[in-house]
Structure 1
Amino acid sequence: MIRVLLADDQAMVRGALATVLDLEPDIEVVAQVGTGDDAVTSAREQAPDVALLDVQMPGKDGLEAAAELHKLVPGCRIIICTTFGRPGYLARAMAAGAAGFVVKDSPPEQLVDAVRRVHSGLRVVDPALAAESLATGASPLTAREHDVLRIVKDGSTVSDVAKALHLSEGTVRNHLSSAIGKTGARTRAEAVRLAEDRGWL
């Protein structure tokens, strides 16, 4: 029996995924949670074989939860299952230790197949997304540029970012300017939007 943990902040989606998986004779959903933090806690308690994680969740997102699970529950194989098939998400998911990446509009039988294949030790990646990811390439943002954009996303000022990251305001401006240039944006708001659209944030 393949024991599965589901983490998705939308209860209806979570319930639908659980129903699809529970119909299979060799798959059992042992936990359903709505946040990345709960996914980590539940996985440590339940020791599932496979964790199916959404990307965008409150608290820790699915990619952060995947990285923690990879370290804390190494026997659990991870599949990212998201509405947003962004190339940058794929690269970040694989770096976090995920073994699979599927989009939610895939047919149910593909999801079931992905769970079985990942459980058996294989990697499963949506083929269209894999091709797009190769074409787009890796994120050009440095870790610091990523941090700065993530903080300005909610409207924070340069001063706010400087305090949060313990940097000078001049250094923050330099990181912002570099990130704007790398994304091809004209403003910081546009840089955030473009980076999010590509899955870099």
Structure 2
Amino acid sequence: MTQATEVWNSAYDNDTAPWIIGEPQPAIVALERGGRLRGRILDPGTGAGEHTIALTAAGYDVLGVDLSPSAVAYARRNAAAKGVTDARFEVVDMVALATAADNPLGTFDTIVDSALFHVFLEDDEARAAYVRTLHRLCDPGAHVHILALSDTEPGFGPRIGAGLIRDAFAGPGWEIEELRPDSYYGRITEANAEQARGLEPDAEGKVELAAWLARIRRTG
């Protein structure tokens, strides 16, 4: 099962989240520089809000959402500290939205999932619901970009195989245009110290982990 909201809240309230590195993931920055992000953008599982903050500062129309109220509060403080006062964040349950009567978010041209998809590693039902929500929130022709931890190398966190991504988007309405290895950066905290044993942080305290980067288009 995926973690309860209280577990995510605790990670932000106690500053033990291994995924908070104080900046956007380089893989997501590269997508923006490569012209892969367009139109109205959703940042699900926004966490500390780094991607929403950076993209808002760059002039994009972007919304960051997270299941955790503590994450959203953290992201808002983070945005204020960085002077990006127009960055927008909301508390949203992306799994529950699959069956909600209304869609309060509207639809998007681009969805950037950095380290959310892989949390459903052991929860097939939640993963399927999440993918249905993505389809619901995508305009036809919209793209979902997924950066997820890979099980091809040692690391920490819920690491997945490429097949899990392929299977999740194998149904009608999706086309996987690209799925390739990339990198994800995290940090070592008391929450993941045991899993991270043997990993060497760089000079800034970050650890490079194997990841998958997928580009998926809604076809209908």
Q: TM-score, normalised by structure 2?
A: 0.29
Q: Normalized per residue, which structure has more helix?
A: 1
Per chain length, whose mean CA-contact separation is higher, i.e. which structure has more relative contact order (CA < 8 Å, sep 6+)? 2
Give the structure with higher Rg (CA). Answer: 1
